[in-house]
Amino acid sequence: MTRVKICGVTTVTDAVACVDLGADAVGVILVPSSRRCVDVATAQAIVRAVDARGAKALVVAVVAGLSVDAMRALREATGVGCLQLHGDEPAGEVEALLPHAYKAVRVATADDVAVAAAMPGEFVLVDAKSDEGFGGTGRVFDWSLVAELAKRRRLVLAGGLSPENVGEAIAAVHPFCVDVASGVESAPRVKDLARVKALVDRAHAAG
């Protein structure tokens, strides 16, 4: 069954609701330039609340532009289970943080897919390449570019996913996990729980 990560949660209430609706993971963004950025105290509170549900859902911290030591310290301070490196981190930095980290790579061409394939670790995330920001832009890319990579790696597919297209995306790529932010929001920073439920149900039903 394809896993679902709801990224860009900004409150304990939304995080817990997403987990209760069947999300396998939630993402907290700790990148100041993101409109969905939260502080360390909020991330800590989300981790505690999700852990208290006993659902074994993973809390992932999205980071960018930090040193390896700073990323380790942030992971320890927040208590998150994993880091998603969404900046320009080289492969060596990803490797230094394994197994509790994975790289996000922006994809528009086959060359970008080659970069993703070269990243160390069991997992790799692919997102749409855009000048608008590092993620959560709502843009879709050509899924056929990463279908082969999904056969070799635990691929996390992001980029413009929504309840309306997640079934098609899973059929095209067969990813390990789908990652959704703007596609399940009523407004930036506010999750639409009806859309979260629809997406989770359709993703899990798709295989």
Contact yes or no for 193/17 (Cβ under 8 A): yes
Given the residues 7, 14, 18, 177, select the one marked as catalytic.
7
Known catalytic membership, residue 127: yes
Known catalytic membership, residue 7: yes
As a whole number of angstroms, the distance between CA 96 and CA 89 comes to 11
Given the residues 14, 24, 112, 127, select the one marked as catalytic.
127
Residues assigned a catalytic role: 7, 127
